[in-house]
Every structure is written in C-alpha cells, then in structure tokens.
C-alpha cells in the first residue's frame, strides 16, 4: 500500500512540474535540469531523468537494456507522445541523426566538431552562438562539447558509416592524450 501511494504521489508531483501544451507539442519540464538538458526528479531514493519517468508513468517500467529516446530534439520535453523506446544502438543513431543540420540536412564535418570543442573549451563562443553559426541545435552543440554522440560514433557507429572509420582515427587526438 505504501508503494502505491508513493507512486501516485510521485506522479502528481511529476506532472505538476510540466508545462503541458497541445498533444502534439513539446511538454517542457519546469524543474531541475541536468548538464545535458534533461529534466530530473528525485524518485525512489535517487535522481531520475524526467523523460524516463514520463515514459514509465505512462507505459510502465522500462524494459532492461532499453532507452527512452526523443522524437523531438528537445531533452527537456517529457510529452509521452514524443518519447519512444529504443535499443542502445537506436539511441546512438538517434543522437547521430540529430547531428544533421536542420536546414541543409548535411552532417557536421569532423573538423567542425573539433573546432566547436576547441572554441567552447577556450570560451571563444557560447553554445547558443555556435548553434546559430553551424546551423544545428544548441542541444547538439552541448552534446558535442560534452563528448556525447561523437564519442559513440568513435566507439561503434563508424562500422555503420564505413567512411567514418578513417576519420575517427585522427578526429579524437585529445581523447587519447588524456589517457597518456
């Protein structure tokens, strides 16, 4: 009985922190956001990502080894209609797809990724500014500078995108130096 109450109360607490718009729109998480832009909430003794909780509150527990991914490129969104269950691979692919430029559909080139990381770490340009310059979302810039996405590609997706193999060998010199 205690668990049922806890769960129900957590659900209420959860949806109170969401700005619900139309069923098609992104529903924005209004409370704490982590460094990657995902909402978070204390639940069952630890911080949980808000979009994962949204999926669970709507559909039940997330099956082991599966990931909750966004159809929209909006990590703060918790609209269950914008979330889908993916495998790790799909999660990576999803990430990868979102590396495409919104306007031209072209991918960021590896030298640009390097440049974005360098400029960000030298504090030459904000993620907001670079998002505009490179024609990608701010989220994508943050993923790149936090080493998400592109690190995935380095580790595995280069097999799926054959030619990336060549590029990755020289693309991440910094990652390697860090381990020396």
Binding site for Zn ion (CB under 5 A): 26, 72, 74, 77, 79, 82
Q: What is the DSSP string of 123-169?
A: TSS-HHHHHHHHTS-HHHHHHHHTTTTHHHIIIIIHHHTTTHHHHHH
**Contacts (Cβ under 8 Å, ≥6 apart) of 52:** 62, 68
Tell me the closest approach of the beta carbon of residue 8 to Zn ion, in angstroms.
25
Whichever of 25 and 90 has its CB closer to Zn ion, that residue is 25
CA distances from 177 to 111, 149, 173, 174 (A): 18, 20, 6, 5
Whichever of 18 and 157 has its CB closer to Zn ion, that residue is 18
Tell me the closest approach of the beta carbon of residue 79 to Zn ion, in angstroms.
5
Tell me the closest approach of the beta carbon of residue 27 to Zn ion, in angstroms.
7
Whichever of 77 and 130 has its CB closer to Zn ion, that residue is 77
Whichever of 34 and 175 has its CB closer to Zn ion, that residue is 34
Tell me the closest approach of the beta carbon of residue 64 to Zn ion, in angstroms.
25
| Distance of alpha carbon 84 from alpha carbon 51, whole angstroms | 10
């Amino acid at each position: 009985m205690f668990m049922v109450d806890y769960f129900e109360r957590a659900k209420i607490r959860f949806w109170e922190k969401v700005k619900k718009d139309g069923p098609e729109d992104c529903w924005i998480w209004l409370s704490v956001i982590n460094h990657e832009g995902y909402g978070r909430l204390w639940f069952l003794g630890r911080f949980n990502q808000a979009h994962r909780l949204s999926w669970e509150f709507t559909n039940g527990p997330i099956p082991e080894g599966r990931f909750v991914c966004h159809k929209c490129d909006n990590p703060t969104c918790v609209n269950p209609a914008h979330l889908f269950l993916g495998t790790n691979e799909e999660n990576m692919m999803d990430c990868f797809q979102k590396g495409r430029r919104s306007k031209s559909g072209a991918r960021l080139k590896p030298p640009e990724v390097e440049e974005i990381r360098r400029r960000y770490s030298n504090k030459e340009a904000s993620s907001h500014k670079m998002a505009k310059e490179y024609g990608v979302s701010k989220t994508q810039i943050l993923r790149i500078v936090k080493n998400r996405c592109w690190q995935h590609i380095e580790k595995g997706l280069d097999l799926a995108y054959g030619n990336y193999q060549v590029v990755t060998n020289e693309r991440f010199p910094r990652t390697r130096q860090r381990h020396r």
